[in-house]
Structure 1
């Protein structure tokens, strides 16, 4: 009996052991938006039990664990889920487990309607990188010239500025590290565009917005170019540049602690020699000369903050002689002495969850013009027009991240202008303080949907008025490589001070932007389609002060804000970087523009003389490693723009504008070619890295015309031409201490 009891006890123990270690099945299905998700890792926490979901999202595994356990669901693109389950003696069926998409900065879609971003961080999809600017044939290493090869930008030629989608050159503003640049272009004379005063090498990236730009920026009816300056250099370097038209040099010093740097550069230019070699259209009695110097320092604080300073000085002068259109004189002469300075100081620092960006700038600009005539080789007494401008900008932005792809930011901006003009008996002093406040939020709803909502409010002390400008943009991923964006915004801008020559009840000029974009991006290729509509209201209307009535000089003077207009069109951009053709990077842009305006002295609504209906550009870049040569070609075509001769006459005691002469310019064509030779590239022991450049602009010698000037009575005219039809540049750049030659080709390999 006792032995039998032992057997029964043994059987009970064995049965209990078997039951305790029996396998329990755990199963279920992982879904996102009711669709099964493949390759989700399902794991019983702190054990080796688990499974991976199949193509339909189903999973199952067996476990011998008992009691309360945590089941985890992980996938790189989805948020981790933890679910508590109780394991006893029965199989567990969990049914559908709904997971959430993992929102990340890398995968999330960003709003891009109306804007093109280019920086080292976004090189794969970047357009117009610093390397591009240097290697676009015909761009003369100028940011503003390189923009002509992007969709939406018009090639005007006779005056400086960025002309965007039917807007004037002054309706686009340029910023450096978020701070307004009030004198980006050098001083010049009528018919000759001022050049960029800022060296392209100081910028590491840019965002170009041709419509619907951020609420952080204002006072621009058309668009904004946001330039980002370089941070600390990789190491100390020195450079020297030599050519028949300029001589320059500079250095960048990085301290031993790698937390501080400073640099200086100085450049002198003179076109006198080139005038003797080439047949210039412009008769320079004083060849254009320029002196440019700049100084910068960078400080990285121990707390992770960053301080940047950049200072620039430019002096330039030239003299131009042209046939006089007025009776009584043979020639007209204008001589220029210009001076400019710009200082930019910024600071950024993170305080916990907040990022603070503060910056200020000071700009001074002087244009000293002397006008005279020449008859029988005798020059008349000179008349002087002197303008001085002092500009101060202050801006602060505080930003807080909400999550990985959402943020809110806000701040204020002060922009003070103080301008003086002296011309014979005319004295003018213009002062204005524009105070602005703004707030903007980035909302990432998912990796496929995001929005940007902002508002900006401004007050002008001169106008004595306020404005309120909402901005909105939405982006949605249509498919893996296809995205779409929609942007809307209201934008205001003060009247140009040069038109404010008398008392008038003026207000802000206004534009509304509607932008729709569809884009396909894959490795090395990008296709961008964009449609836009811009509505203009409250544009400035002017009248001409007629000779013999008030002054002997025709001057456009602001009258009211009764002007209006529109601009609409479509743009196409295609870029293929080393995908279809080995070592070849190329892009093609096409823009169609339909626009009309009734503004300034226009008598009726007309197509502006700075707007071409069709614009086509092609850029091709090829680097040949075995020859150490980069070959670059560009072509730019624009349909002929209209031109007008608008005058005023007195009717019923008031000035009335009317069109005396009008027509259409011939189509603009320019084929450009450049070569870069880098003999020491790849030589690790080399201490000097030279770059030799040969560039030919308009190699076919097309006789392009920018416009026409007319005499006071409209009976005579003269064409506004480029200073020279075809220009050849030869130069050598020597870099000491660091091999930067890779930067010239790294976008082509």
Structure 2
């Protein structure tokens, strides 16, 4: 009896199993993207556990016992989801799918030809953060000095400014939160390079464009540096810095919700002590001295809008005596007294899909230069030149998001300049006024994650030039493979002649056309860039000597700059070491200003090489930083004038190659102490460790028969300082950004 029951039970199980097996229906197919099979695509019956993943050929197959109408779902983060309705009966089903790319702000290719971005944005390319700047040996905490280690930027030691791809220092413009910063550098006298006026710690990031930049910016023939200030401090803090050169103190207050903050700081510097300790190549009658103070506040409204204000005032003095190159004169004396005030206000607010940016800046600058000569201990030929300027900038930009990676923006900008030059030996003051109105529009077009474009147009009207211009901009980027991208940029750029050149002759805009091609490989911890460029100059000014100053007579100058650049940054290959290498090759000629023929510019070098390396040794609580810069010898020229004031090349030559090895270390004595009440950094920096005898150029007598070299203020400079922060522990920042 039991055997019979067992047989019946087995027969029933077999029958049920056969019914179950016959109910299993196979669903299979191929998933393609642009006619190619795609692997790792999830294929599932919606609201069931049945499904499969595609293989390398895009094929999939699975079985299901479901019946009736169902939805077959194809999904992958890189592609848009596809749904297909199928009816499951008793026959196998073949269901194929063609995918569309999922547009992603993170995955989308970034246009980066001519641009290096360092910010808190996810789409940043080559990073040069504030910590990077502070820990770059030889940069002395200055943004512009750190940028000189990047490709395309020339190492110029005798005057301030960013000299980019064969352009003069005045061809680069600076912006803070979108607003123009006039007089970005401190007041200076010829041959003595002044420092950045704005403190690096103000900013959370920057975008440095060495060409082909956005239509949002104008009046720059070569490049722009757009600095973005921090939104809110991390917490309440007091900062103190002290060294033999300067002392500064600052205070920041922020509420717990980070909706309001304000801060104030002051600093005083005097190089007098260092002139007694270190041998300087300059004979200072008044060691460089300055005092500055600034105030800031930030307010965030309930809708997320942020209002930011920054204001500063500084004054500086310097006196210099040099042996005269003119016969019967023993010494030439130059004394400078400078004053500057700067105010910057910006507001940013989102309204749904729209982003509104409003801002303005105001600068007042005064420069008084006293000149005299000494002959047999008697002062002769006294003269005073005073330049006062008021500069105002206002800008409004409205941006609308079209989708995740596409947008359109437009705006308007006003610049007003009022400048007065008074010369003691001249009975009449020279007044210069200019108002520039600019209108711009630009669109970011994200066609796919692998292809994007930026198209822009800018037009400007200047009252000094009394003309409109029209400047189109175009850039495209295409991802070649997972890590390799290419970018192409083109643009026309206009810039007014410098204010000091305006006189009786009518002048036009100066013009430059940029062509840039870039190939970039980016992966975790490594970045490689190869960039080729061509820059064509037209309508550059030509000058002649008129009294005490050169005056522009027309816009008949021209020129070109072409070359290629290589950049490699690596944080991964060598354990705990971050380093980058940049090389630039430049071929350039110009016939402009006082040049009487096309010449390689005296402010440019054919070959520039920079190397920067950083390592933080946690056990020693110390960061070690080194940098090296090499530039091939720049040319120098001596032009003399005839009775008509026309210039003629009288003498030319080539400087010796420039070499400088710099070293710095940062010691954190409070590292690892949980009860430390202050975060302290002790800094030692040595510029030009090996004491190379570098020369920046030559000064010539009026008749061209005598000359002297233009030298650095000191061959080797040593800096020692302590920076103490009460309130914020930046230990992790200091360590992580040096690894």
TM-score bracket, shorter-length normalisation: over 0.9
Residue 274 of structure 1 aligns to a residue whose secondary structure is: helix
- Does 1:585 pair with 2:578? yes
In structure 2, what is the Cα distance between the partners aligned to 1:52 and 1:620?
46
1:689 counterpart residue number: 679
Is 210-219 or 709-718 further displaced after alignment? 709-718
Report the equivalent of 1:569.
Answer: 563
1:30: which partner in 2?
Answer: 31
The alignment partner of 2:201 has SS state of helix
Structure 1 match to 2:163? 163
Report the more deviating stretch, 118-127 or 703-712.
118-127
Structure 1 range deviating more: 655-664 or 536-545: 655-664
User: What is the alpha-carbon distance in structure 1 between the residues aligned to residue 125 and residue 674 of structure 2?
Assistant: 30
Residues 644 and 663 of structure 1 are in contact (CA less than 8 Å); yes or no, is this contact kept in structure 2? yes
Find the counterpart in structure 2 of residue 359 from structure 1. Answer: 359
Q: Is the 8 A contact 1:681 1:742 kept in 2?
A: no
Going from structure 1 to structure 2, the CA distance change for 1:131 and 1:157 (only over 3 Å counts) comes to same
Structure 1 residues 87 and 219: alpha-carbon distance in aligned structure 2, compared to 1, 3 A threshold:
same
Q: How many Å separate the matches in 2 of 1:745 and 1:228?
A: 24
* The one of 453, 456, 463 aligned to 2:455: 453
TM-score, length-scaled by structure 1: 0.94
Q: 2:432 aligns to what?
A: 430
User: Which of the residues 468, 473, 476 maps onto 1:466?
Assistant: 468
- What SS class does the counterpart of residue 197 from structure 2 fall into? coil
CA distance in 1 between counterparts of 2:649 and 2:122 reads 49
For 1:294-327, what per-residue CA distance to the aligned partner results, in whole angstroms no more than 9, with x for missing partners? 1111111111111111111110001000111222
1:59 Cα deviation (Å)? 2.0
Paired with 2:478 and 2:136, the residues of 1 have a C-alpha distance of: 33
| Worse-matched range after superposition: 708-717 or 50-59 | 50-59
Q: 1:201 maps to which residue?
A: 201
- Alpha carbons of structure 1 residues 521 and 256: separation in structure 2 relative to 1, 3 Å: closer
Question: Is 1:729 equivalent to 2:723 in the alignment?
Answer: no
| Distance of 1:230 and 1:529 partners within structure 2 | 31
CA distance in 2, matches of 1:463, 1:121: 39
For 1:682 and 1:116, locate their aligned partners in 2 and report how far apart those are by CA, in whole Å. 35
**Following the alignment from structure 1 to structure 2, what is the Cα–Cα distance between the partners of residues 245 and 36?**
66
Query: Which of 631, 639, 642 lines up with 1:638 in the alignment?
Result: 631
The equivalent of 1:741 in structure 2 is 731
SS at match of 2:23: coil
Provide the secondary structure at the position in 2 that maps to 1:626: helix
- Aligned partners of 2:690 and 2:351: how far apart in 1? 58
Q: Distance in 1 between matches of 2:448 and 2:256?
A: 44
Alpha-carbon shift at residue 667 of structure 1 (Å):
1.0
Q: How far is the alpha carbon of 1:382 from its aligned partner?
A: 3.2
Contact 2:219 / 2:495 at 8 angstroms: preserved in 1?
yes
1:615-674 per-position Cα deviation (integer Å, ceiling 9, x unaligned): 111111111110001111111111111111112214xxx543211121111111111111
Cα shift at 1:277: 0.7
Deviations 1:680-725 (A, max 9, x none): 1232221111111111111111111111111111121121111111
Q: Distance in 1 between matches of 2:47 and 2:301?
A: 44
**Displacement of 1:740 after TM fit?**
1.8
Equivalence for 1:7: none
Task: Output aligned runs, 1:4-19, within 5 Å.
Answer: none
Secondary structure at the counterpart of residue 380 of structure 1: strand
Kept after mapping to 1: 8 A contact 2:126/2:527 = no
User: For 2:633, what is the secondary structure of its paired residue?
Assistant: coil
Is structure 2 residue 554 aligned with structure 1 residue 524?
no
Give 1:544 deviation, angstroms. 1.1
Does the Cα contact within 8 Å between 1:368 and 1:387 map onto a contact in 2?
Answer: yes
**Unaligned ranges ≥5, structure 2:** 1-14
Q: Relative to structure 2, which stretch is displaced further, 67-76 or 416-425?
A: 67-76
Cα deviation code 1:264-289 (max 9, x no counterpart): 11110000000111111111101100
Please state whether the residue corresponding to 2:73 is helix, strand or coil. Answer: strand
Counterpart-to-counterpart distance in 1, 2:372 and 2:732: 51
Residue pairs, 1:186-335, within 5 angstroms: 186-335=186-335
Contact 2:27 2:62 in 1 (8 A): yes
**How much has 1:89 moved relative to structure 2?**
4.0
The corresponding residue for 1:53 is 54
C-alpha separation in 2, matches of 1:125 and 1:507:
37
Counterparts of 1:682 and 1:299, CA distance in 2? 35
Structure 2 CA distance, aligned partners of 1:279 and 1:102? Answer: 63
Unpaired runs of 5+ residues, structure 1, are 1-13, 546-550
Looking at structure 1, the residues matched to 37 and 659 of structure 2 have their Cα atoms a distance apart, in angstroms, of 57
Per mean C-alpha deviation after superposition, the further-off stretch among 117-126 and 233-242 is 117-126
Give yes or no for the alignment of 1:395 onto 2:385: no
The alignment yields a C-alpha RMSD, in angstroms, of: 1.8
Q: Is the 8 A contact 1:487 1:516 kept in 2?
A: yes
Q: Is 1:663 paired with 2:665? A: no
Q: Give per-residue Cα distances to partners, 1:539-560, cap 9 Å, x unaligned.
A: 0111112xxxxx3x3x110111
State which of 551, 554, 557 in structure 2 corresponds to 1:557: 551
SS at match of 2:646: strand
